[in-house]
Structure 1
Amino acid sequence: MSFSKERPFLLVGAGKMGGAMLAGWMAEGIDPASVVVCDPGLSDEMDGLLKSHGIRHVAAVPDDLTAAIMLVAVKPQMMDQVLPGLASAVEADTLVMSVAAGTPVTKFQEHFGPVPVCRCMPNTPAMVKRGITAVYPTTEVSEGQKQDVTKLLSAVGKVVWLDSEDQIDLVTGVSGSGPAYVFFLAEALSEAGMAAGLPEELAHELAVATVCGAGELMHQSGDHPAALRQNVTSPNGTTAAALDVLMHAEGLQPVMTEAVAAAVQRARELAQ
């Protein structure tokens, strides 16, 4: 990795996403001496993690710190407040990474100049190292920096590279917001079980285990979801009867398409 104690990796914001990534990097054996965390309001859990690894923590970026890589993991509405205070840590070759939804690369270049920027869209399964992060790099990002980004983000899941920044909003609608859709599926399945007559606790247990198990089967098999669906659907059986409802012209697909479109539209509004 192209960062060191002298020119460290600077993590700005150690909340849920930034914290999950940091925990993943520590598990991968990144040198704690080469990492600096900037966050004025650490949680007790994160404070404990930093202390246990001996990672330097600052409430604001000191004047003598120059980052090799800087990951900005603060909320989009905080950008105008936070970015001016980071400029002293950025040089022309500093790689700036962002995981903030709705914040275009131009926002960072307004504050830091034409530096290399990677706009990243991770998702919450990164917390259990099963995330997927889509990355859009500006033309200033070198091949070596791309390799660094891939190594860093692979610690919390898969990494895919995008051809255009416009695709970030589309990714947001599918994988960025997607875990919430799956959580709601488990909720809905549990509610349906209760409506059919199951006790609440049992319906919840069955629904959660089914969603988790199906996801793991899909992950391990590598088969297309359609093939897996067909494999468990006997002609004229119980699953087929249920799928006749879900796959109706007014069933799940048009609702999911509308939901993703709504998330994409909101992501575009946040970028304005």
Structure 2
Amino acid sequence: MKIGFIGAGNMGGAILKGYAKTAAQNGDQILVFDINEEKRTALEQQIPVVSACSSEKELARSSDVILLGVKPNMFETLLPQIAEECTSEKVIVSMAAGVSIGFIQSYLGSEQRIIRIMPNTPAQVSESMVAVCRNQHVDDQTFRQVFGIFEAIGRAEEVDEALIHCVIGVSGSSPAYTYMYIDALIQAAVDYGMDEEKAKVFAAQSVLGAAKMVLETDISPEQLRINVCSPGGTTIEAVNKLMENGFMDHVKEGFAAAVEKSKAMTK
């Protein structure tokens, strides 16, 4: 396949780099266009399977799969520019929050094959969680091929587009909440005399390990918490204080705020 990336910013660039090794193994070619000429030239020079294009139209014309990595407010400008090149055989992949499959179809036609994804920023270290939605024109074989792009940068799951707002709350935005938690642990450790760099390692590795316990055992997060909390011990003392201060409720409120914002901005 020829897989084209329009926009190679933080997310688009992370997906491109994450898939490059798999692309080489599969015999795929990656095309890229970014308004920053230096960026697209650097990608072409650094990654053997990448070729830079001089315009969005050239990339759309030459690609089998077109990933749109531009900001949501650019779609009304971009889609008309590439509409002529987007034949029904091509697959359009959008990663923009608030841009529905229906909105893209309104510019590219009701027969266009469209996949919508919601990745998150850990794509930069190949640990992304990617939700993948498709319209009725994307057949299973094509879907599996495109789905493989996102498995190369972490984990991917197919969901109905109706769940995309929920996905934003639970994975799209949640790295930010997790960074806040890690940062609070670091600051507290520094206050108690630990070097900041060492505190970062202790806090981040503990979060990484806890996440792997959730993913790699059959034990529920609640039970895992209980297992750590010896009666009268230090952990249960901390957990009780967090519960007393509404820790769980605050996380749920943040989640809900992200979901409602996603609903409000969707077009």
Distance, in Å, in 2 between the alignment partners of 1:110 and 1:142 is 20
Distance, in Å, in 2 between the alignment partners of 1:175 and 1:230 is 24
Task: Report what 1:231 is aligned to.
Answer: 227
Structure 1 unmatched runs, 5+: none
Question: Pairwise mapping of residues 1-272 of structure 1 onto structure 2 (< 5 A)?
Answer: 3=1, 8-30=2-24, 34-42=29-37, 44=39, 47-52=41-46, 53=48, 55-60=50-55, 61-62=57-58, 65-114=61-110, 115-163=112-160, 165-195=161-191, 197-199=192-194, 201=196, 202-221=198-217, 223-248=219-244, 250-272=245-267
- Using the TM superposition, give the Cα deviation of residue 40 of structure 1 relative to its aligned residue in structure 2, in angstroms: 1.7
Deviations 1:62-120 (A, max 9, x none): 29924321111111111112222211321012111111111111221111102111110
- Using the TM superposition, give the Cα deviation of residue 43 of structure 1 relative to its aligned residue in structure 2, in angstroms: 5.3
Distance, in Å, in 2 between the alignment partners of 1:134 and 1:63 is 25
- Using the TM superposition, give the Cα deviation of residue 122 of structure 1 relative to its aligned residue in structure 2, in angstroms: 0.6
Contact conserved, 1:121 with 1:135, CA < 8 A, in 2? yes
Distance, in Å, in 2 between the alignment partners of 1:74 and 1:171 is 20
Q: What secondary structure sits across from 1:70 in the alignment?
A: strand
Q: What secondary structure sits across from 1:65 in the alignment?
A: helix
- Using the TM superposition, give the Cα deviation of residue 170 of structure 1 relative to its aligned residue in structure 2, in angstroms: 0.9
Deviations 1:38-73 (A, max 9, x none): 2121554x6333223152212312299243211111
Contact conserved, 1:63 with 1:89, CA < 8 A, in 2? no
Q: TM-score, normalised by structure 2?
A: 0.89
Distance, in Å, in 2 between the alignment partners of 1:204 and 1:21 is 26
Deviations 1:173-223 (A, max 9, x none): 11000111110001111223344x324525444323332333344444464
Q: What secondary structure sits across from 1:71 in the alignment?
A: strand
- Using the TM superposition, give the Cα deviation of residue 19 of structure 1 relative to its aligned residue in structure 2, in angstroms: 1.0
Deviations 1:118-151 (A, max 9, x none): 1100111111111111111111111112111221
Return closer, same or farther for 1:200/1:63 CA change in 2, 3 Å cut-off: closer
Q: Report the more deviating stretch, 100-109 or 66-75.
A: 66-75
Structure 2 unmatched runs, 5+: none
Contact conserved, 1:133 with 1:160, CA < 8 A, in 2? yes
Identical columns (%) = 31
How many matched pairs?
A: 262
Contact conserved, 1:11 with 1:73, CA < 8 A, in 2? yes
Q: What secondary structure sits across from 2:132 in the alignment?
A: strand
- One-letter amino acid of the structure 2 residue matched with residue 144 of structure 1: Q
Q: Cα RMSD (Å) of the superposition?
A: 2.2
Flag the structure with higher helix content.
2
Distance, in Å, in 1 between the alignment partners of 2:201 and 2:166 is 33
Q: TM-score, normalised by structure 1?
A: 0.87
